[in-house]
Homo-oligomer: A and B are copies of this chain.
Amino acid sequence: MENEIIKYLTKHTSLSDELIDIVIASTIIKNYKKGTVLLREGEISKESYFVLKGCVRSYFINDGEERTIEFYTEEQPVLPIGYGKGIPSGQYLECIEDSVLTLNTTEHEKEMFLKYPQFESICRIMTEVMMANFQESFVNYKITNPEERYLFLQKERPYLFQRVPQYQLASYLGIKPESLSRLRKRLNRK
């Protein structure tokens, strides 16, 4: 399964054979049971992940209500907000399926940068890729209404509709569960 990471990295950057071996040798893979909370509000986030299998949900609790920010599935990096900043997080990260993740820590990254300076370049490029994805998600959310978001999700990530509870999907789309059922009914009639 390490190959998934190599596949992901080589989509965006060119890795020498040497670096491929290093990445594979230094990758830590862990299994997490459904329901595992990887990060809680108030905790300091020191770990980042890459999803090999499963689904991680990122959410916040605001006025007692869960607000889902993202669902991370296969071949997506999970970078907690404030990762490596040393300040308490406001975020929750939870495995909503049995998941297989690679695990990365800030200490491990620092070590790698010292040992293999070429990693700086790869990490810069990968951070740029992640930022671009983030910018796109933000813009898409901001310029669309819930119906457009629903249709976009149906087209781009249809599998989420089977894998994710309805109330989480609703809050991800920025609406209440009741509005999601109404939206569904309306779209089914079309």
Contact = CB atoms under 8 A, between A and B. Distances in A.
Contact of A60 (B82, B130, B139): B139
Given A81-B139, A142-B67, A142-B174, A130 B132 contact: no
A120 B118 CA distance: 9
B134 A138 contact: yes
A128 interface: yes
Interface residues of A, number: 34
Interface in A109-158: 113, 117, 120-121, 123-124, 127-128, 130-132, 134-139, 141-144
- Highest count of chain B CB atoms <10 Å: which of A60, A130, A131, A137: A131
Contacts of A79: 131, 135
A51 to B, nearest CB: 17
A176 interface: no
A62 interface: yes
Contacts of A60: 139, 143
Interface of A: 60, 62, 67, 69, 79, 81-85, 90-91, 113, 117, 120-121, 123-124, 127-128, 130-132, 134-139, 141-144, 174
15 contacts: A60-B139, A62-B143, A62-B144, A69-B138, A69-B143, A79-B135, A81-B135, A81-B136, A91-B139, A120-B124, A127-B128, A131-B134, A134-B134, A134-B135, A141-B141
